[in-house]
């Protein structure tokens, strides 16, 4: 089994709900995942696989108020409680869509999410799970052993894609008075080029994070 993350192309809504006794709740709701459709990573989740994984997650996590997610994906499948930003309150299958709702929490990362939203930053959701893959008919199918670990809040992944395109086109990346050394860019390019199609988005995202860490 391997770690599998999927960004949902469909827009989710970030809304504000009044709380009893005053104050307000920040909530995300919309399509959290999809079945029977080839996604941007070339993977397909068969309907029965998605229904099984969602059903198990709802029974074991959502219904027991234990379904929490993070701001951005960590390196592995485990949810880190010190990085939690939201609690998933609803998750259900409607046709091929997995409709969800999550409450933004008053944690440090939850406060960051609220601040980003209030500042007009566009955020999305991305599932995180473990499973095996099988290639057939030009796509990677997620097998029946798939386990849904959580749904994280992430930034629109167009940033890693733009970064990758820039490297492939030979763009020089410059900041302030410095230039990233050529061999560093070449290493990133090599890692992306040798990545299997099934892992391409994860490798792109990882190398983009490495790039940002260098700029710091």
Per the CB < 8 A criterion, the answer to whether 71 and 87 are in contact is no
Burial 40-76 (b: 16+ CB within 10 A, else e): ebebbbeeebbebbbeebbeebbeeeebbbbbebeee
Rounded CA-CA distance 135/141 in Å is 6
Active site residue 73: yes
Rounded CA-CA distance 128/6 in Å is 7
Rounded CA-CA distance 181/162 in Å is 19
Rounded CA-CA distance 40/50 in Å is 17
Of 73, 85, 132, 213, which residue is the catalytic one? 73
Of 26, 85, 86, 126, which residue is the catalytic one? 126
Rounded CA-CA distance 49/147 in Å is 9
- Distance, C-alpha 190 to centroid of its chain: 24
Catalytic residues: 73, 126
């Amino acid at each position: 089994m391997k770690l599998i993350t999927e960004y949902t192309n469909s827009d989710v809504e970030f809304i504000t709900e009044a709380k009893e006794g005053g104050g307000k709740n920040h909530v995300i709701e919309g399509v959290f995942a999809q079945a029977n459709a080839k996604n941007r990573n070339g993977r397909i989740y068969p309907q029965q696989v998605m229904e099984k994984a969602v059903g198990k997650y709802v029974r074991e996590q959502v219904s027991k108020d234990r379904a929490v997610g993070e701001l951005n994906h960590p390196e592995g499948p485990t949810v880190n409680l010190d990085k939690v930003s939201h609690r998933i309150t609803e998750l259900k299958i409607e046709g091929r869509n997995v409709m969800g709702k999550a409450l933004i929490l008053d944690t440090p990362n939850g406060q960051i999410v609220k601040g980003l939203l209030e500042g007009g930053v566009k955020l999305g959701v991305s599932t995180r799970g473990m499973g095996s893959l099988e290639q057939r008919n030009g796509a990677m199918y997620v097998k029946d052993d798939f386990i849904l670990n959580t749904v994280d809040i992430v930034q629109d992944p167009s940033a890693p894609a733009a970064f990758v395109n820039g490297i492939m086109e030979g763009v020089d990346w410059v900041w302030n008075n410095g230039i990233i050394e050529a061999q560093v860019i070449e290493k990133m390019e090599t890692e992306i080029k040798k990545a299997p199609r099934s892992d391409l988005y994860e490798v792109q995202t990882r190398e983009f994070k490495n790039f940002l860490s260098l700029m710091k």
